Amino acid sequence: MIRAALFLLLALSGAPAAAEEVVMGLSKSSVSISTDFDGSEILIFGAVKREVAIRPDPPLQVIVTVEGPKEPVTVWRKARRLGIWVNSEAVEVDSAPTFYAVATSAPLGEVLSEVEDLRHDISIPRAIRSVGAPMTILDSQSFTNALIRIRERAGLYHLDEGAVQLRESTLFDTAIAMPANITEGLYMTRVFLTRGGKVVASHSTEIDVRKVGLERWLYNLSRSQPLIYGLMSIAIAVLAGWGASAAFRALKSG
């Protein structure tokens, strides 16, 4: 079924072709976040469209990235003061994706050169933009590395080397797992074809991730009516506490 879709994509693509071009598709172009949302998996597949015969050496490789909305992040470093751990130094990361996944057909260091990574911002560190840091902080890169480690543990950043299946240097597919804690927004999906570490073709599209149902209503309420949202949250907390206390007293007296 996937192969049939790939060949259909090739047949319908009427744009003038370069030496090699990417034709890609998604198993779904939108993700709905509801109250019972526990994550999602997106199948990304495609084919290589050519005007010339396949060149066997160097072999073709494929890189797929999925990037969530970007936002500024303040990263703090803790230090021990008078026997307790407190925030001591901070670096403002100008722009970091809320989610970033990279899948490759071979080890990333083999399929992409540092120059091409710098040009296209493909690897996880290159996707994060941190321009400046306080003059008192000499190791600002360690703050960016800490952010990457934290989000890797949360399942929000991951590199899957060898996860892209490439068949006969023509058909490719991979699956990108999106955890339950993703944020809503447009997720940029990019596919790169590389030879000898150099990008020879690329293509991009978007995945729309949105809250629906109760999640959407609460989100909109928190943005449009923050006072009402806050009062409602307090009321729910009070009622929950009262209910738990009443249940405990009933169990104790029984």
pLDDT per position as a tens digit, 184-241:
899 999 999 999 999 999 999 999 988 765 555 555 656 666 776 676 667 777 777 7
pLDDT at 38 over 70: yes
Helix (H), strand (E), coil (C) string for the chain: CHHHHHHHHHHHCCCCCCCEEEEEEECCCEEEECCCCCCEEEEEEEEEEECCCCCCCCCEEEEEEEECCEEEEEEEEEEEECCEEEEEEEEEEEEEECCEEEEECCCHHHHCCHHHHHHHCCCHHHHCECCCCCCCCCCHHHHHHHHHHHHHHCCCEEEEECCCEEECCCEEEEEEEECCCCCCEEEEEEEEEEECCEEEEEEEEEEEEEECHHHHHHHHHHHHCHHHHHHHHHHHHHHHHHHHHHHHHHHHHC
Residue 49: predicted pLDDT: 85
Query: What are the phi and psi torsion angles at 78 (to 5°)?
Result: -90, 150
pLDDT at 123 over 90: yes
Lowest mean pLDDT among 34-38, 101-105, 135-139, 176-180: 135-139
196: left (phi over 0), alpha (psi -120 to 50) or beta: left
Q: What is the pLDDT of residues 131-146, one digit of tens each?
A: 766 666 667 778 888 8
Q: Which residue has the higher pLDDT, 11 or 127?
A: 127
Q: What is the pLDDT of residues 95-120, one digit of tens each?
A: 899 999 999 999 999 999 999 999 99
Residue 108: predicted pLDDT: 95
Per the CB < 8 A criterion, the answer to whether 26 and 204 are in contact is no
| pLDDT band of 162, cuts 50, 70, 90 | very high
Residue 56: predicted pLDDT: 60
Average pLDDT over residues 140-157: 89
Sorted by sequence, the CB contacts under 8 Å of residue 52 that are 6+ apart come out as 19
Residue 219: predicted pLDDT: 59
Residue 13: predicted pLDDT: 47
Average pLDDT, the chain: 81
User: pTM score, two decimals?
Assistant: 0.74
pLDDT at 175 over 60: yes
Report strand pairing: 185-195 vs 60-67.
antiparallel
Average pLDDT over residues 10-30: 68
Residue 189: predicted pLDDT: 95
Sorted by sequence, the CB contacts under 8 Å of residue 187 that are 6+ apart come out as 66, 67, 68, 69, 99, 206, 207, 208, 209
Residue 176: predicted pLDDT: 94
Residue 76: predicted pLDDT: 79
